Amino acid sequence: MTGIADADVQQSEDPVLTANRDGIVVVTINRPQVHNAMNAEVLSRLAELLDAFEHDDSVRLLIFTGAGSKAFVAGADIRELERRRPVDGLTARMQRLYSRIEAFPKPTIAAVNGYAFGGGCELALACDVRIASTDAVFGLLETGLGIIPAAGGTQRLARMVGIGRATDMILTGRRVSGEEALTYGLVTEIVSSDDLITAAESAATRILAKGPLAVKLASEVIRRGFDVDQETGLLLERLAQSVIYSTDEKSEGTSAFLEGRRADFLSVHHDRSGE
């Protein structure tokens, strides 16, 4: 959860901005004066937004990014971090928020611009998809402060890039460029800074063109099945598929293919919601 020291900056704007673009909501951490460092206010605001978005049918997918050109999120607010005590470690406010993002019922994309250190890297790890700009830099720098990455970093990074690379990054605090992150499998695409949000929205559009329940269950089975034995994972896969086979979504998808047209999953779900 490492970051930079928060300066005494008066914030005149919402620390988290949102923009809904046809169901694709861009969530922007808006503290560019301190490289978008996470503080208690940002965490509270994100939790409130997740509450609202989860039950808002006009919200279909979330893209997380940072304000300005220098940082996605440079980590936690060090002034707040310095005051934390053992009970705060057990409360694990940031870890719990990121676990909620990981399990969010709608797809999530991290559009990583600039520094993604500590809690910023961990936020990206909690998202379903990560797209980075050419100037993105990833790092879990906590050991340099005498702490560990505890917003999911020790667990999600190892699962994503392998225990060897994760251990190296965490113990040494080594910073990883966007290109290196791509070779690690930490991100799936690298684009120029100017094209980052466009690329994220393009990925979002591709996801939203698929069956919503299929996307949700596929993500859930991948996540839940990763750490169990293969037979249990295959059982989860079978059970999820059996549920999907009973849905109008499956009927629309297969019918559209056979009829040579594009599936309209949204209309299917709207018809069902109006019953």
Q: pLDDT, tens digit, for every residue of 25-54? A: 999 999 999 999 989 999 999 999 999 999
Residue 262 tokens, joined: 């594009």
Residue 8, pLDDT above cutoff 60: no
Q: Which of 80, 142, 201, 252 is catalytic?
A: 142
3-state SS string over 63-115?
Answer: EEEECCCCEEECCECHHHHHCCCHHHHHHCHHHHHHHHHHCCCCCEEEEECCE
Given its phi and psi angles, is residue 78 left (phi above 0), alpha (psi -120 to 50 degrees) or beta? alpha
191-235 tens-digit pLDDT: 999 999 999 999 999 999 999 999 999 999 999 999 899 999 999
Q: Which CATH superfamily is domain 16-208 in?
A: 2-enoyl-CoA Hydratase; Chain A, domain 1 (3.90.226.10)
Of the candidate ranges 49-58, 90-99, 244-253, the one whose mean pLDDT is the lowest: 90-99
CATH of 212-273, picked from 3.30.420.40, 1.10.12.10, 3.30.40.230, 4.10.520.10, is 1.10.12.10
93-112 tens-digit pLDDT: 899 999 999 999 999 999 99
Does the annotation mark 142 as catalytic? yes
Residue 141 tokens, joined: 């720098």
Does the annotation mark 41 as catalytic? no
| 153 in Cβ contact with 125 (< 8 Å) | yes
Q: What is the pTM of this model?
A: 0.88
Name residue, tokens 């503290």.
31
Q: Which of 41, 54, 80, 122 is catalytic?
A: 122
Report CA-CA distances (Å) from 154 to 14, 31, 141, 161. 31, 26, 12, 11
pLDDT band at 11 (very low <50, low <70, confident <90, very high): very low
